[in-house]
Chain A
């Protein structure tokens, strides 16, 4: 009890000390602690904006652009890292000696070199070795132009009728969820097995595709064109984004590969043999016996890797990608001199990201936990 009282007293004294210091210090230089600067014009441009923004927009909008850019690179990174990571993890377990070794070397190289170095290296390769727009490298028959000013690809232009296709897509997903439950019920009662995969695929992809043609193909593409020294039109992935995205995903993929390998190896071979003994086919053994058990081991460390991608995306500042640290924590901070407020916002945003991800993880863990007697 005494220890607790002492701890709390020390803690309170510490907070009192630093806060009173902060107040005196701020008073001496005549700065308050207020967030009103957020509504002043920001006076700087951001090179990648998904929402409307220009230099007359207020600082809070710059922060919002930053948050969206952070989320964009994080989500894109998570998707690519998961795909590559699972692929590498499975290849690492392959019985083929050659591919096994190649993947091993890749994983060890990537894991033992700092992520910042990867980001700078990929950025250097994109900027220094890709050609200028005039001599752009063309891939996929004009669908993708690789230049040192970014990757250019046709931009989809939606006509109003495109909404029907999106609605069809959502209906397809809803139908799949319902159908899965229904199929399980039927299987529990009668033992009849539906081909869930094919029906789901048809509902999610084929159905919107048909709707697309019924609606009269309401989608056109705007192709990038070379005008003067650069491409105009089309969708552009800026070199900073490409470098950050590739470097983060390839870095994290190596960690995910190790997690996947450990997860699959954690399932004892007896499980597979037992499933075979029951006469279950190899494919369904994987699907019904191995993967559900392996996922239980894989998911917790996987979600912490997702969190790592989100946090590592803050290294964007090293190559000039305008994420939350670079906008509100960088340029806005330097322009207004409001270190306290800006850093509070940045820290608060990252904290809420990680609290959300760990809340999700706890919920998932609870759902997946082995229920023992």
Chain B
């Protein structure tokens, strides 16, 4: 036997590591089967996945019907293929336009598409700092919202579209993006007000923030839809979408303010004192010294608030606006498609997951990029 061969001291050749410690087997050994509790957990998890995944896959893909004219059609197709009926995605396909554009007039939908492209283009210079001509791009980003607003509402040469025709994903985008753009400056102002030395200003800011944070968004939306008219001069009417936009913006600005306050409090006092001793005025020291640092550390919180705002746009269905969820529920009234609510929910869930997950990922990227510590 050659392996029994004897070596002089110090001359034994290096042996390869045992097969159980490296490669795939080693990985499995270490990560799945390292101890008895670990093995039991692995086993239970595999069983759980076995219970969950095959039915889900069947429902979403294998048994699903993608092209049909009604729910009965879906069922007939599934029966003909000899399988149980899974998801009836044909419904989503037929109503896709409605999900995206709401009741926006068909011949004017190019305006929505154009706005979407313009918004995406406006986002690029804001989100990434290594694009060419960024400065020019930022100017564009600044004026783009005004143009988009004009494109969507119309007037001045375009056919006006009343805001109650807005719906679907487009409405979600409008509310979410307006809320995000509007709430950041208001939030910063509120946070600075709350930290200021002037008691009257501080009291007002604290009162506003605590009030907004103390009540659910849905009650504020109710206030907007039922009560707001009472507080305006007699005879004024106020667009429902505009009221919702204002409420959503105010709501999330209170949360942004709290996040930024956390950032402001984390800045050592020495920074302000140093700025003061350099002779900087309040606004100068805030703009050049304090806010850049405070905003940087509050990025995760700010993005989380934005994600929350974006998700909260679904609440508008309760006061009668039609976001994708409301659109889907409304189209269920069609007898051809009754009872397909799960398909709608899954479809809308996928949409929200994609948008919110990418926001969260972007925030991680930003955190890494701005991390100047060790």
Interface residues of A (CB under 8 A from B): 1, 3-5, 7-8, 11, 18, 21-22, 24-26, 28, 94-99, 102, 108-109, 111-117, 120-121, 124-125, 128, 311-312, 314-315, 317-318, 325, 329, 333, 339-340, 343, 346-347, 350-351, 353-355
For B213, give the chain A residue with the smallest CB separation: A354
A264 to B216 CA separation, bound complex (whole angstroms): 30
A112 touches B34 (CB 8 A): no
B219 touches A329 (CB 8 A): yes
Q: A25-B234, A117-B345 are in contact. Are A96 and B315 (CB under 8 A)?
A: no
Is the CB of B25 closer than 8 A to any CB of chain A? no
A112 touches B234 (CB 8 A): no
CB proximity of A111 to chain B, nearest CB, Å: 8
From B198, B199, B230, B357, name the one whose CB has the most chain A CB atoms within 10 angstroms: B230
Question: For residue B38, which residues in chain A have a CB less than 8 angstroms away from its CB?
Answer: 95-96
Q: A7-B204, A112-B356 are in contact. Are A98 and B32 (CB under 8 A)?
A: yes
10 contacts between A and B (CB under 8 A): A7-B201, A95-B38, A96-B32, A97-B31, A102-B45, A112-B353, A112-B356, A317-B318, A347-B219, A350-B219
CB proximity of B231 to chain A, nearest CB, Å: 4
Is the CB of B106 closer than 8 A to any CB of chain A? no
Question: For residue A314, which residues in chain B have a CB less than 8 angstroms away from its CB?
Answer: 216, 218-219
Question: For residue B222, which residues in chain A have a CB less than 8 angstroms away from its CB?
Answer: 325, 329, 343, 346
CB proximity of A108 to chain B, nearest CB, Å: 7
In the A-B complex, the 3 residue pairs with the closest CB atoms? A97-B31, A112-B356, A114-B311
For A24, give the chain B residue with the smallest CB separation: B234
B214 touches A354 (CB 8 A): yes
A355 touches B214 (CB 8 A): yes
For A28, give the chain B residue with the smallest CB separation: B234
Q: A112-B307, A317-B318, A333-B226 are in contact. Are A350 and B42 (CB under 8 A)?
A: no
User: Chain B 260-279, CB within 8 Å of chain A: the 1/0 string?
Assistant: 00000000000000000000
CB proximity of B165 to chain A, nearest CB, Å: 23
Assuming A7-B198, A112-B356, what are 9 further A-B pairs, CB within 8 angstroms? A7-B204, A24-B234, A94-B41, A102-B45, A114-B311, A125-B342, A311-B215, A329-B219, A350-B216
A117 to B38 CA separation, bound complex (whole angstroms): 35
Question: For residue A125, which residues in chain B have a CB less than 8 angstroms away from its CB?
Answer: 342
Question: For residue A343, which residues in chain B have a CB less than 8 angstroms away from its CB?
Answer: 219, 222-223, 226-227
Q: A95-B31, A96-B38 are in contact. Are A315 and B201 (CB under 8 A)?
A: no
A117 to B350 CA separation, bound complex (whole angstroms): 11
Near A by CB (< 8 A), chain B positions 35-49 give 38, 41-42, 45-46, 48-49
A96 to B38 CA separation, bound complex (whole angstroms): 6
B198 touches A4 (CB 8 A): yes
Question: For residue B284, which residues in chain A have a CB less than 8 angstroms away from its CB?
Answer: none
Is the CB of B23 closer than 8 A to any CB of chain A? no
B45 partner, pick from A4, A99, A315, beta carbons under 8 A: A99
Question: For residue A94, which residues in chain B have a CB less than 8 angstroms away from its CB?
Answer: 41
A21 touches B215 (CB 8 A): no
A49 to B132 CA separation, bound complex (whole angstroms): 64
A21 touches B233 (CB 8 A): yes
CB proximity of B60 to chain A, nearest CB, Å: 14
CB proximity of A11 to chain B, nearest CB, Å: 6
Question: For residue B325, which residues in chain A have a CB less than 8 angstroms away from its CB?
Answer: 116-117, 120
A314 to B345 CA separation, bound complex (whole angstroms): 20
For A121, give the chain B residue with the smallest CB separation: B345
A122 to B216 CA separation, bound complex (whole angstroms): 21
B341 partner, pick from A109, A115, A120, beta carbons under 8 A: A120
B230 touches A99 (CB 8 A): no
Interface residues of B (CB under 8 A from A): 31-32, 34, 38, 41-42, 45-46, 48-49, 198-201, 204, 210-211, 213-219, 222-223, 226-227, 229-234, 307, 311-315, 317-318, 325, 339, 341-342, 345-346, 348-349, 352-353, 356-357, 360
A11 touches B204 (CB 8 A): yes
A117 to B312 CA separation, bound complex (whole angstroms): 10
CB proximity of A264 to chain B, nearest CB, Å: 18
A340 touches B227 (CB 8 A): yes
A146 to B160 CA separation, bound complex (whole angstroms): 52
A96 touches B41 (CB 8 A): yes
A8 touches B311 (CB 8 A): no
A324 to B349 CA separation, bound complex (whole angstroms): 28
B230 touches A325 (CB 8 A): no
Q: A114-B311, A317-B318 are in contact. Are A124 and B345 (CB under 8 A)?
A: yes
CB proximity of B246 to chain A, nearest CB, Å: 14
A113 touches B352 (CB 8 A): yes
A113 touches B311 (CB 8 A): yes
Q: A8-B200, A95-B34 are in contact. Are A113 and B353 (CB under 8 A)?
A: yes
A315 to B48 CA separation, bound complex (whole angstroms): 31
B314 touches A116 (CB 8 A): yes
A112 touches B357 (CB 8 A): yes
A318 to B213 CA separation, bound complex (whole angstroms): 21
A339 touches B311 (CB 8 A): no
B342 touches A98 (CB 8 A): no
A157 to B8 CA separation, bound complex (whole angstroms): 85
A124 touches B342 (CB 8 A): yes
CB proximity of A313 to chain B, nearest CB, Å: 8
A346 touches B342 (CB 8 A): no
A186 to B318 CA separation, bound complex (whole angstroms): 59
Question: For residue A312, which residues in chain B have a CB less than 8 angstroms away from its CB?
Answer: 216
A39 to B312 CA separation, bound complex (whole angstroms): 35
CB proximity of A198 to chain B, nearest CB, Å: 23
Question: For residue A113, which residues in chain B have a CB less than 8 angstroms away from its CB?
Answer: 311, 349, 352-353, 356
Q: A112-B307, A112-B356 are in contact. Are A121 and B342 (CB under 8 A)?
A: yes
Question: For residue A115, which residues in chain B have a CB less than 8 angstroms away from its CB?
Answer: 311
Question: For residue A116, which residues in chain B have a CB less than 8 angstroms away from its CB?
Answer: 314-315, 317, 325
For B258, give the chain A residue with the smallest CB separation: A304
B218 partner, pick from A25, A317, A354, beta carbons under 8 A: A317
For A31, give the chain B residue with the smallest CB separation: B230
Question: For residue B353, which residues in chain A have a CB less than 8 angstroms away from its CB?
Answer: 109, 112-113
A150 to B354 CA separation, bound complex (whole angstroms): 34
A121 touches B234 (CB 8 A): no
For A311, give the chain B residue with the smallest CB separation: B216
A114 touches B312 (CB 8 A): yes
A315 partner, pick from B200, B218, B360, beta carbons under 8 A: B218
For B353, give the chain A residue with the smallest CB separation: A112
Question: For residue A24, which residues in chain B have a CB less than 8 angstroms away from its CB?
Answer: 234
Question: For residue A128, which residues in chain B have a CB less than 8 angstroms away from its CB?
Answer: 339, 341-342
For A103, give the chain B residue with the smallest CB separation: B45
Question: For residue A1, which residues in chain B have a CB less than 8 angstroms away from its CB?
Answer: 198
For A8, give the chain B residue with the smallest CB separation: B200
